[in-house]
């Protein structure tokens, strides 16, 4: 098969790139080794920046985010056993949207199907080849067992942090920037009504906890844990005891409990590959970078990459000049490093750092107090979280 853009990975980055390219008349083929049900059934992120929600609605993917997503005008920071609200709407005039990645995926997959997009799920043995030539290719075996070859002008590597695309770049042609953390998140999906109106990011002597939700009857909760914690060692009552202990305080706040539907340990790292490009291959989403989940940036970065990438490819194809691909890396990296800093900062602000002294914990509480007392400091958080930057006054 010949196509203009070959895309490896049918997650949000790959499907959004395919969708945006189709809008400007550029054809693409997307392949993924997972089935559609596997991708759609994996619990992932939950928060969209306002610009991400706008991109979904305005580019014609779906307006379901507007109808079924929930605007959140702020978050709660909980520390010292008390709640402190950070009002994004008042600080920067912007909301975020609670709209799970599983729904973003469904909307994108439905839109590609509706628009006649070529998306092949459940393929095996995917390899990318001839990346430094003007005819790169994707080799794979399709779901029916037939060997296939897609030749394209531009290849997009959107196959996640452990995919084949980044790994195919010669080591001398990429630099990795990595920060590991000595902790992880234990994530649970529970059948119980919401415990709070908005997200609650909790700092406690026992470590971080986060209260989020999926629907009116399903909550999404996380708590900091050891990276090699085994979910099998955590029966429901142990999970609830730990979560309640982390959020407990003089105000009597407690979580609504219910049966645990899903439990898993989430990897936690900060990573960037530079440049996010090799020859005719552009890397997008987790293939290019990973952020720790604390700032809810991963999905938003993937959608931004897709937008910037589609713009660069459109210019290159329209002008028949592939030097326009050069604009992608610098633009994507500027956004990536700002989100890296934000995610790193939120993470270090709220987690119990192994080896931390009593001084370190008090210093964190001092920083949290400054954050909620100072309009300048809470505006910084609101800008990072919503992605909205209020231009400085002169």
Characterize 91-124 residue by residue with b for buried, 16 or more Cβ atoms within 10 angstroms of its Cβ, and e for exposed: bbebbbbbbbbbbbbbbbbebbeeeebbbbbbbe
Would you count residue 96 as binding ligand DHB (CB under 6 A)? no
Instruction: Tell me the C-alpha distance between 272 and 156, whole Å.
Output: 17
| Closer residue to ligand DHB, CB minimum distance, 212 or 364 | 212
Would you count residue 293 as binding ligand DHB (CB under 6 A)? yes
Subset of 215-254 contacting ligand DHB (CB under 6 A): 220
Subset of 117-156 contacting ligand DHB (CB under 6 A): none
Among 212, 290, 336, 340, binds ligand DHB (CB under 6 A): 212
Closest CB 45 distance from ligand DHB, rounded Å: 5
Would you count residue 62 as binding ligand DHB (CB under 6 A)? no
| Closer residue to ligand DHB, CB minimum distance, 17 or 199 | 199
Beta-carbon contacts of 374 under 8 Å, excluding residues fewer than 6 positions away, are: none
The answer to whether residue 385 is catalytic is: yes
Characterize 67-82 residue by residue with b for buried, 16 or more Cβ atoms within 10 angstroms of its Cβ, and e for exposed: eebebbbbbbbbbeee
Closest CB 346 distance from ligand DHB, rounded Å: 8
| Closer residue to ligand DHB, CB minimum distance, 140 or 181 | 181
223 beta partners: 186, 209
Closest CB 296 distance from ligand DHB, rounded Å: 3
Instruction: Tell me the C-alpha distance between 70 and 97, whole Å.
Output: 5
Residue 37, CA distances (Å) to 112, 201, 235, 242 in order:
15, 31, 27, 32
Instruction: Tell me the C-alpha distance between 243 and 82, whole Å.
Output: 15
Among 46, 74, 194, 285, binds ligand DHB (CB under 6 A): 46
Closest CB 330 distance from ligand DHB, rounded Å: 27
Stretch that binds ligand DHB, among 41-49, 164-172, 242-250, 268-276 (CB under 6 A): 41-49
- Annotated catalytic residue: which of 33, 72, 203, 289? 72
Tokens 């790193």 belong to 344
Q: Which is it for the CA torsion 128, 130, 133, 137, positive or negative?
A: negative
Residues 143, 10: contact at Cβ < 8 Å?
Answer: no
Stretch that binds ligand DHB, among 24-32, 43-51, 169-177, 320-328 (CB under 6 A): 43-51
The two counts, helices (H) then strands (E), for the chain are 12, 22
What are the φ and ψ backbone dihedral angles of 148, each rounded to 5 degrees? -130, 155
- Annotated catalytic residue: which of 99, 201, 222, 328? 201
Q: What is the CA radius of gyration of the chain?
A: 21
Cα angle: 46, vertex 47, 49; to 5 degrees: 155
Would you count residue 47 as binding ligand DHB (CB under 6 A)? yes
Among 16, 39, 221, 296, binds ligand DHB (CB under 6 A): 296
Would you count residue 294 as binding ligand DHB (CB under 6 A)? yes
Closest CB 185 distance from ligand DHB, rounded Å: 8
Among 22, 31, 128, 199, binds ligand DHB (CB under 6 A): 199
Closest CB 47 distance from ligand DHB, rounded Å: 5
Site track for ligand DHB across 153-192, x = CB under 6 A = ----------------------------------------
Beta-carbon contacts of 369 under 8 Å, excluding residues fewer than 6 positions away, are: none
Instruction: Tell me the C-alpha distance between 191 and 214, whole Å.
Output: 10
Paired tokens of 84: 């402190």
The answer to whether residue 297 is catalytic is: yes
Paired tokens of 129: 């080849």
Stretch that binds ligand DHB, among 14-22, 229-237, 290-298, 321-329 (CB under 6 A): 290-298
- Annotated catalytic residue: which of 19, 203, 297, 351? 297
The answer to whether residue 72 is catalytic is: yes
Closest CB 249 distance from ligand DHB, rounded Å: 21
Query: Which parts of this chain interact with ligand DHB (CB under 6 A)?
Result: 45-47, 199, 212, 220, 293-294, 296
Active site positions, annotated: 72, 201, 293, 297, 385
């Amino acid at each position: 098969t010949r196509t203009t853009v070959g895309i490896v990975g049918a997650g949000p980055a790959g499907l959004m790139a395919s969708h945006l390219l189709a809008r400007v008349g550029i054809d693409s083929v997307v392949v993924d080794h997972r089935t559609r049900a596997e991708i759609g059934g994996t619990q992932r992120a939950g928060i969209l920046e306002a610009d991400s929600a706008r991109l979904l609605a305005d580019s014609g993917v779906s307006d379901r985010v507007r109808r079924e997503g929930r605007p959140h005008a702020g978050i709660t920071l909980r520390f010292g056993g008390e709640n402190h609200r950070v009002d994004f709407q008042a600080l920067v005039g912007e909301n975020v949207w609670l709209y799970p990645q599983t729904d973003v995926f469904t909307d994108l997959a439905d839109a590609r199907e509706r628009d006649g997009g070529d998306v092949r799920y459940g393929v095996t043995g995917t390899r990318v080849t001839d990346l430094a030539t003007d005819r790169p290719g994707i080799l794979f075996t399709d779901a029916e067992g037939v060997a296939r070859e897609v030749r394209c002008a531009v290849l997009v590597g959107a196959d996640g942090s452990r995919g084949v695309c980044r790994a195919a770049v010669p080591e001398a042609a990429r630099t990795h920037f990595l920060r590991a953390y000595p902790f992880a998140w234990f994530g649970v999906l529970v059948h119980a009504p919401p415990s709070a109106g908005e997200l609650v990011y909790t700092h406690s002597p026992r470590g971080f906890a986060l209260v989020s939700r999926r629907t009116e009857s399903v909550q999404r909760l996380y708590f900091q844990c050891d990276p090699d914690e085994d979910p099998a060692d955590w029966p429901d009552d142990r999970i609830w005891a730990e979560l309640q202990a982390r959020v407990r305080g003089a105000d009597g706040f407690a979580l609504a409990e219910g049966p645990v539907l899903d439990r898993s340990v989430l990897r936690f790292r900060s990573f960037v590959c530079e440049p996010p490009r090799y020859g005719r291959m552009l890397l997008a989403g987790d293939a290019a970078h990973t952020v720790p989940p604390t700032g809810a940036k991963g999905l938003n970065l993937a959608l931004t990459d897709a937008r910037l990438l589609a713009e660069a490819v459109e210019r290159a194809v329209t002008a028949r000049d592939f030097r326009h691909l050069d604009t992608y890396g610098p633009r994507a990296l500027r956004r990536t490093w700002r989100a890296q800093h934000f995610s790193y900062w939120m993470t270090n602000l709220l987690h119990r750092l192994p080896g931390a002294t009593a001084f370190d914990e008090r210093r964190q509480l001092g920083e949290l107090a400054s954050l909620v007392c100072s309009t300048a400091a809470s505006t910084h958080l609101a800008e990072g979280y919503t992605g909205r930057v209020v231009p400085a006054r002169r």
